[in-house]
Amino acid sequence: MTLRISVIGTGYLGTTLAAGLAEFGHEVIGVDIVPEVVKKLNAGQPHMFENGLEHLLEQHTRSGRLRFTLDYDDIADWADVHFLALGTPELPDGSADLSQLHATIDALAPKLTKPALVVGRSTVPVGTAPALQERLRRLAPAGDGIELAWQPEFLREGFAVGDTLRPDRLVFGVQSDHALRLLKQVYAIPLSEETPVITCDLATAELIKQAANTFLATKISFINAMAQLCQVAGGDVTVLADALGLDARIGRGHLSPGLGFGGGCFPKDIRALAVRADELGVNVLSDLIKSVEVINSAQRVELAELAIDQLGGEIAGKKVAVLGAAFKEGTDDTRDSPSLTVADYLHDRGAIVEVYDPQAHLAPRDGFTQVGSVIEAVRDADIVLHLTAWPEFRYLDPAELAPLVRSKIIIDGRLKLHAPTWRDAGWKLVQIGRAATL
Ligand code: UDX
């Protein structure tokens, strides 16, 4: 059954969700407050790089099932379901800034004269949803006819379209059978493909998302701490991770060692959970999260210091080629990018840093330069740093790059390069946690 659905907020999540819901056969209107974004999206063009999204947007803006607007009047009493896909950025104390959610409710609610289901998708501290429902009901002419549900989002940048069309699970935080029935209609297609569904209360739904992100971040920091141990003990952390991953209770996912996690989700979401846990007096959880963060930040410093060591302790005036600026491969997102922390650290110590990334465009900034190719970045370099695991870096030809550099030293911060190939071409390849390779 075709529903009318609005998606409020057209960032990574909202844009992909809106296009995905149109692909499921629904009529969808996306809402944003930025005129240029709405204009671009109506022309079928995404405002970020995300595999497969352009195709989906083009197809459904053309089919007429998907459009975007600036005007809440277009959606208020039109939609059966309103999705809230707003950002919850970090406040200076680490807690989540809910002002976009509040502003949206203040704009939407006074226009809701008929009963409707509002579904939150943002990552929020536990306890947020009931407060938002109270605000909605207070401001909406439809009053108690407005029901809030919470459906956490698990999509990964770079795989956002696939994760939306074929989710590995759906979590429905609901308060009534009616809300559950509507959500099942929204997701009739993935449900017909036997996607597992968890139905729960609002608090559990809010917590599932934060727990998932924190658990994955913990896996990454755990393997990075083991990498430190391998480094001094002489082991190989990649072999260790493979062996751990074969234990079905552990799994290989998010156990890749290297520079650690960055991006718009993990760092802020785990800090927000720590703040909330402290507020609620559950300090054991915030202590665990603080350790995860300490290990994660240390990886960046460790790598930068390793680069300085490789150059004999002095990096001022040396040219450093940085391969990768995005926080991970498959995206142009540079929010809290480990790669840029390393670049800044070395620049602050006098290095001449040139960065290349296949997709990310850096805003003009003091310090390092962004160049248009690997060749440009590595020309005359004293050291090369592989910091984002773009596939194209894995297939570089070390023999072709060798004559361009001043010294053939490369640090593989993502442990993805094929060490024998680089060594055979005369390079010194360094990977933290594979001491034998030093
Ligand atoms: C994450 C969650 O995976 C997703 O479910 C949630 O909705 C949003 O946050 P995303 O930030 O897009 O998604 O990226 P993800 O692929 O999880 O990687 C996060 C960071 O961890 C990246 O910096 C990545 O390089 C790093 N990472 C990931 C590792 O260092 N090792 C790993 O094994 C996996």
One domain for residues 191 and 209: no
167 with 218, same domain: the answer is no
**63 and 193 housed in the same domain:** yes
Whole-number Å distance, alpha carbon 261 to ligand 1 midpoint, is 6
State the pLDDT at residue 438.
46
Determine the Cα–Cα distance for residues 2 and 25; give it in Å rounded to an integer: 6
Please report, in tens digits, the pLDDT of each residue of the chain (438 residues total).
Answer: 899 999 999 999 999 999 999 999 999 999 999 999 999 999 999 999 999 999 999 999 999 999 999 999 999 999 999 999 999 999 999 999 999 999 999 999 999 999 999 999 999 999 999 999 999 999 999 999 999 999 999 999 999 999 999 999 999 999 999 999 999 999 999 999 999 999 999 999 999 999 999 999 999 999 999 999 999 999 999 999 999 999 999 999 999 999 999 999 999 999 999 999 999 999 999 999 999 999 999 999 999 999 999 999 999 999 999 999 999 999 999 999 999 999 999 999 999 999 999 999 998 776 789 999 999 999 999 999 999 999 999 999 999 999 999 999 999 999 999 999 999 999 999 999 997 554
135 is in an annotated binding site: no
Return phi, psi of residue 433, to 5°: 100, 5
Domain boundary pick from 200, 226, 248: 200
My answer on whether 195 and 221 are in the same domain is no
Asked if 348 and 210 sit in the same domain, the reply is: yes
Same-domain status, 14 and 102: yes
pLDDT value at position 368?
84
Tell me, yes or no, whether 180 and 234 share the same domain: no
Q: Which of 123, 156, 157 best tests ligand 1's pocket when mutated (most atoms within 8 Å of CB)?
A: 156
Residue 49 Cβ < 6 Å to ligand 1: no
* Residue 290 known to bind ligand: no
The count of structural domains within the chain is 2
Residues 229 and 118 in one domain: no
Q: Has 262 been labeled as part of a binding site? A: yes
pLDDT for residue 437: 52
Residue 380 exposed, middle or buried by CB count within 10 Å (0-12, 13-18, 19+): exposed
Active site residue 265: yes
* Amino acid letter, 392: E
Is any ligand 1 atom within 6 A of the Cβ of residue 155?
Answer: yes
Q: Which of 118, 146, 160, 265 is labelled catalytic?
A: 265
The residue nearest atom 20 of ligand 1, judged by CA position, is 261
Give the CATH number for residue 167: 3.40.50.720
pLDDT of residue 365: 73
Same domain, 218 and 129: no
In the numeric block, which tokens belong to residue 139? 């401001």
Boundaries of domain holding 292: 202-438
Q: Are 14 and 68 in contact (CB under 8 A)?
A: no
Given 172, 200, 228, which residue is the final one in a domain? 200
* ipTM confidence: 0.97
- Say whether both 186 and 286 belong to one domain: no
**Domain end position, chosen among 169, 200, 231:** 200
327 ligand 1 Cβ < 6 A? yes
| 149 and 216 housed in the same domain | no
* Structure tokens that stand for 82 in this block: 């309103």
